[in-house]
Structures are given as C-alpha cells and as structure tokens.
Amino acid sequence: MIRAVTRLADSLVGAVAPRATAQAAQVQACHEVSCYCRGIDLYKKMCCDFQPCGSCYYVGPGC
C-alpha cells in the first residue's frame, strides 16, 4: 500500500514540476547596460536574468 501511494505521489510531482519550471524559465527580466562611448556615440548591451549578456550594439549619440 505504501509503495502504491509513493508511486502515485512521484508521478504527480513529475507531472507538475516540469510545468512549473517551464513557466519560471519564461519569466525573466531584461535590461540595457551601457558598454562604452566612442566620441559621442553610445553603445549598450542587453542583459537578461540567468543568461550571459549579449554583445554591444550602437544606440546613437548620447555620450
């Protein structure tokens, strides 16, 4: 009887846990970070939670 309950509980956790993990992975905050200025031109990069920042890109004059 205990084995049957344990198996049932394991299967329920296995069915629910991947969905919760997938939903958590979809929600992430991203923000721009200044990289450097070249003359008056500003370069920034996009950084998101749990991922490495992207490469720097040209934004426009702003330095």
In the predicted structure, residue 58 carries a pLDDT above the cut 70: yes
* pLDDT tens digits, 32-50: 999 999 999 999 999 999 8
Q: What is the pLDDT of residue 31?
A: 94
Residue-wise burial string across 33-50, b where 16 or more C-beta atoms lie within 10 A, e elsewhere: eebeeeeeebbbbeeeee
Q: Are 47 and 54 in contact (CB under 8 A)?
A: yes
Domain boundaries, the chain: 2-61
What are the start-end ranges of the H helices in 1-63?
A: 2-26
Mean per-residue pLDDT of the chain = 78
Kindly state the helix (H) or strand (E) to which residue 38 belongs, with its residue range. Answer: strand 30-38
